[in-house]
Structure 1
Amino acid sequence: MTQSLSVFLRQERDTVNTNLIAFVQSMNAPQFLKDAIIYSIKAGGKRLRPILLLAVIEAFGKDRDLGFAPACALEMIHTYSLIHDDLPAMDDDDLRRGQPTNHKMFGEATATLAGDALLTYSFECLANEDQLSPILRTQLVSGLAHAAGPAGMVGGQSDDLSAEGRVLTLEELESIHQRKTGRLLAFAVEAGAKIAGAAYEQQKALMSYARYIGLAFQIRDDILDVEGEEGTLGKSVGSDVTNEKSTYPKLLGLEETKIKLDHYIEKALHSLQEANVPFPRRLQELAYYIVERDY
């Protein structure tokens, strides 16, 4: 990762975190519930989804401030999903980003409610963003609900849990990942493009870019689960094997998986070139970051 990209990502994470905490603090909710939510937000994370949304707006030379509410709403959805994924009924994880998971700190009931609060409040924040037109807000609320719901993340997670203990085909595996991981990444790109006023053909090419970086993101996760370092990842290495999950390395072998990762990034960059955005550099760098990240 270049120093300029490293600085950019750190600055963007700080900006997203500041806005996220401000949104949560403004909740009309019991303080204990807000404390549980802020605990998971302050646990850190890449903030790739909101950063990607803001980067798409900037790629068109538009005012990135228009994207803060949608970006934070998107990250609220992602954070809620992680809180719920860690629960004993799901992945039953004790650590998230090197710290005790939410339910280990606050109990299962509060963790469940913290996730519920983030899920619903995300749509409230998005629907109330008066910097965006009512039509655009409606489109974004609908798009985020579709990406996060049964046709997207929730459905992908359901199929992922059902698939434990059996060997999937590559087509089945990619279908799960396109929904479980890819749909929220795709929404980040779609939302940024709509807010920026991108033309239809540009949006179409950017959605192709989003699809490929979504698959690449999951492939990199699978590789890190094999050869990553637990201290850097902030979670146990080898959990996919323990949970008997199908992964790219399991289906293709590690070397073929790395080849596929490079192939998808090449296709993502080709799609970005076709989108013909005025300032593509950050979107190019974010694609390479997905390949090179170590957590």
Structure 2
Amino acid sequence: MSISSFTFEPWAAIHQQRVEAALDDTLPVVDIQPERLHAAMRYAVLGGGKRVRALLSYASAELLGAPASSADAAAVSVELIHAFSLVHDDMPCMDDDNLRRGKPSCHKQYGDATALLVGDALQSLAFQCIADTNAPQALKQVQVLAQATGSRGMCGGQDIDLQSTGKLLSREALENMHQYKTGALIRAATLLGAYAADSTEEIHINLLNQYSQNMGLAFQVVDDILDATADTQTLGKTAGKDALQEKSTYVSLLGIDEAKALVTTLYEQTLQSLAGFDTQADSLRGIARFICERPF
């Protein structure tokens, strides 16, 4: 393998700025009707978040030699879907949280009805963003994102989570829930970038599936650890809610030390899935390290 001079932090900063600008261009401006809805959409999306899902789209496109410009629509669409999920998840009928990304949740700022419409509008805009590209594999991207968002993906995972509150889940059931709730969109973000290339070989999809499955699970385990150990200011959302709501988590099931050990195992498996790639996979390796090494 070639010796790499790749440094993750500058690469991430460039692509975070890139997707932020693309999101700003994609979202409707606030001076056209309906002004309040458009303002709320921008409030929910812009100026916050780590943009991990967008970074995954850019990194997997890079793996296949596609330029960042070809992955802009993928990065924007997956961030719009993620923002929609957060807006709805924070509402009183769901997870009921008044804080998101260090500021009042969308429904606290604009009211429940507007927040509901914000989520709906962001979801529609995500699919329009991909469709408008007319890219060779745009239809495949739409299929991937739709499956990841619906009842067999993120929304299904949210429902399982709601039905499981107060219940002790087995490790298998917990992993199944989070492969839907968190993992499905992580996988979609990764594959959307791959399908941003003009053509994509099945071997690449299989390897990226392995990568994203491990990273989706690792992302959730780290979130569970942080919810149990970090403070509200650090998280940008209310800390300790999982325990208060009696939710099964990897911390409640395994304990802190074993949960951390699981993150290490998943990270090692992730690196193994990329072992056949040279320096073109460095950005994917960097994202894996970033996800798994967030400070506990």
Runs of 4+ aligned residues of structure 1 deviating over 3 Å after TM superposition are 26-29
Is 1:14 paired with 2:26? no
Give the aligned partner of residue 198 of structure 1. Answer: 200
RMSD over aligned Cα, in angstroms?
A: 1.8
Moved more, 25-34 or 40-49: 25-34
Distance between the aligned counterparts of 1:193 and 1:9, measured in 2?
18
Aligned residues: 290
Q: TM-score, normalised by structure 2?
A: 0.93
The structure carrying a bigger helix percent of its residues is: 1
Corresponding residue to 1:251 among 242, 253, 259: 253
Taking a change above 3 Å as real, the CA distance of residues 272 and 61 of structure 1, as seen in their structure-2 partners, is same
Is 1:31 paired with 2:32? no
Does the aligned pair in 2 maintain the 1:53–1:71 contact within 8 Å? Answer: yes
Distance between the aligned counterparts of 1:43 and 1:18, measured in 2?
10
SS of the counterpart of 1:21? helix
1:195 Cα deviation after fit: 2.2
Does the aligned pair in 2 maintain the 1:61–1:278 contact within 8 Å? Answer: no
Structure 1 spans left out of the alignment, 5+ residues: none
1:67-216 matched pairs, under 5 angstroms:
67-130=71-134, 132-133=135-136, 136-196=137-197, 197-216=199-218
Distance between the aligned counterparts of 2:203 and 2:88, measured in 1?
37
Give the aligned partner of residue 232 of structure 2. Answer: 230
1:227 maps to a residue whose letter is T
Structure 2 spans left out of the alignment, 5+ residues: 1-5
Distance between the aligned counterparts of 1:49 and 1:220, measured in 2?
16
Give the aligned partner of residue 3 of structure 2. Answer: none
Corresponding residue to 1:267 among 253, 266, 269: 269
Distance between the aligned counterparts of 1:167 and 1:226, measured in 2?
17
Distance between the aligned counterparts of 1:143 and 1:62, measured in 2?
19
Taking a change above 3 Å as real, the CA distance of residues 294 and 235 of structure 1, as seen in their structure-2 partners, is farther
1:42 Cα deviation after fit: 2.4
Identity of aligned residues (%): 39
Distance between the aligned counterparts of 1:158 and 1:65, measured in 2?
35
Give the aligned partner of residue 61 of structure 1. Answer: 65
Give the aligned partner of residue 50 of structure 1. Answer: 54
Question: Which whole-Å deviations, capped at 9, do the CAs of 1:89-126 have from their partners, x for residues lacking one?
Answer: 00111100110000111111011101110011111111
Moved more, 246-255 or 188-197: 188-197
1:277 Cα deviation after fit: 5.8
Does the aligned pair in 2 maintain the 1:178–1:215 contact within 8 Å? Answer: yes
Distance between the aligned counterparts of 2:55 and 2:35, measured in 1?
28
1:294 Cα deviation after fit: 4.0
